[in-house]
Amino acid sequence: MPCIIDINHDVSKNKESQWVSLCGKHLWFSNDPHKSIENAKLSGKPICKTCRKIAGIPMSSRRKPEVEAPFKIYTVGAGEIKERIAIKETDTGFRTQGGDLQYKNQRLDAGLWKNIGGDASKLVTTRELEQARSLAKHQITMLKEYVSKLPELITSLETKLSKYED
């Protein structure tokens, strides 16, 4: 932490690249010291705690992190809604009380993604219950369409398999 040069000290008066700070440390040019109390106040750089006390500069105020009240989040996957408690929202998701990060959008499986497509093969987390309900309905209809196509897919696969059995 940079110190403030004691301009009244004998060493500070006599030498150009060596000084003594207000707290008594010997300083060199490479220590990047503050040249005066006014300079230290205006610079915006950190100041040694002891020098700060001696110079009568108040301690810097630290910002406390903003704390959100816990809130409910809803995770929708395969038409099912799960409710959880979160304490913080980030850019990519929600931080739960257990410390886990619940992503806002997450794919379930690559195979499902290709076959079902879109939102039906995702886990989606949101704060809004109505949005979660509408997404669950959408996922259920997409899954119903996929399941209705399965018999056709099975018969086409069986015909392909019969070609190779000969």
| Residues 132-153: tens digit of each pLDDT | 999 999 889 988 888 888 898 8
Digit-coded pLDDT (tens) for 28-48: 777 778 888 888 888 888 888
Contact at 8 Å (CB) between 82 and 108?
no
Contact at 8 Å (CB) between 93 and 125?
yes
Percent of the chain with pLDDT over 70: 86
Higher-pLDDT residue of 141, 64:
141
pTM of the model: 0.53
Residue 12, pLDDT score: 77
Higher-pLDDT residue of 14, 52:
52
Digit-coded pLDDT (tens) for 79-133: 899 999 999 988 889 998 888 888 888 776 655 555 665 666 678 899 999 999 9
Residues 94-113 as b or e (16 or more Cβ within 10 Å = b): bbbeeeeebebeeeeeeebe
DSSP string, 65-118: PP-PPPEEEEEEETTEEEEEEEEEE-SSEEEETTS-EEESEEES-HHHHHHT-G
96 residue type, one letter: T
- Residues 109 and 74: their CA atoms lie apart, in Å, by 20
106 residue type, one letter: Q
